Amino acid sequence: MKPLAVVLLCILLVGCASSPAPSAAPPAATTAVDSVADVETALAASGIHVAATEDTTPGDSSCIRGSPIHTFALYREPPDATYDPGTLPLELLVFASPVDRRAYEARISSDGSTITGEGCTVIRDYVATPHWYGAGRYLLQLVSDDPAIVAVVAAAASRLGSP
């Protein structure tokens, strides 16, 4: 059953990659680097200190209009540290505006594992429960079953602006 699921996912992703690229988003008032600093400050105020940040902005293969203008993985430990499910990376998606973020967020399934676009669907299989937190131009994704971490990231998101 697993090999069939992998094949289906690959077919979906190829279909998404062949879709026309969305038009470029207008430049945001705040740079992506400033955005990371804002999010790191909010996380630190909530008790999570970021040890490493990795730019994970995808190419133009996204099938979802209004995709983030920039994405980052935020690690509580360096990425090469020993794996600990409580320290999975946080993903930060930065949008041109809160309106763009809300439009993207509306395409995320209630269980957080599926994002739909025009003519395609992106399905991810997570090792824990995905949680999405939107505030202002930011959308944070946390994959964790640790209620303490979930609460801390939710508190940090609330510091970033209105939903």
**Residue 163 maps to a domain:** no
| pLDDT given for residue 90 in this prediction | 85
Question: Is 25 within the bounds of a domain?
Answer: yes
In this predicted structure, which of 71-85, 119-133, 144-158 has the lowest mean pLDDT? 71-85
Q: Does the pLDDT at position 8 exceed 70?
A: no
pLDDT recorded at residue 38: 86
Number of domains in the chain: 1
Does some domain include residue 57? yes
SS3 content of the chain, % helix, strand, coil (to 5): 35, 20, 45
Beta strands 52-55 and 70-75 are antiparallel
Is 15 inside any structural domain? yes
Is residue 133 in some structural domain?
Answer: yes
pLDDT at 6: 39
120-124, 125-129, 147-151 — which one is most confidently predicted on average? Answer: 147-151
If pLDDT is split at 50, 70 and 90, which confidence band does 132 have?
A: very high
Question: Which candidate, 50, 40, 127, 56, places its Cα nearest to that of 93?
Answer: 56
Region 30-49: mean pLDDT is: 78
Per-residue confidence at 56, pLDDT binned at 50, 70, 90?
confident
| Proportion of the chain above pLDDT 90, given as a percent | 11
Q: How many CB atoms lie within 10 A of CB 162?
A: 8
What residues make up the domain containing 122?
2-158
Residue ranges of alpha helices (H) inside 18-133 are: 32-46, 98-105
- Model confidence at 28, pLDDT cuts 50, 70, 90, reads very low
The more confidently predicted of residues 86 and 53 is 53
CA–CA gap between residue 104 and residue 115 (Å, rounded): 8
Give the torsion through C-alpha atoms of 90, 94, 95, 96, to 10 deg: 170
Judged against a pLDDT cut of 90, whether residue 133 lies above it is answered with yes
Q: Quick one: pLDDT at residue 20?
A: 41
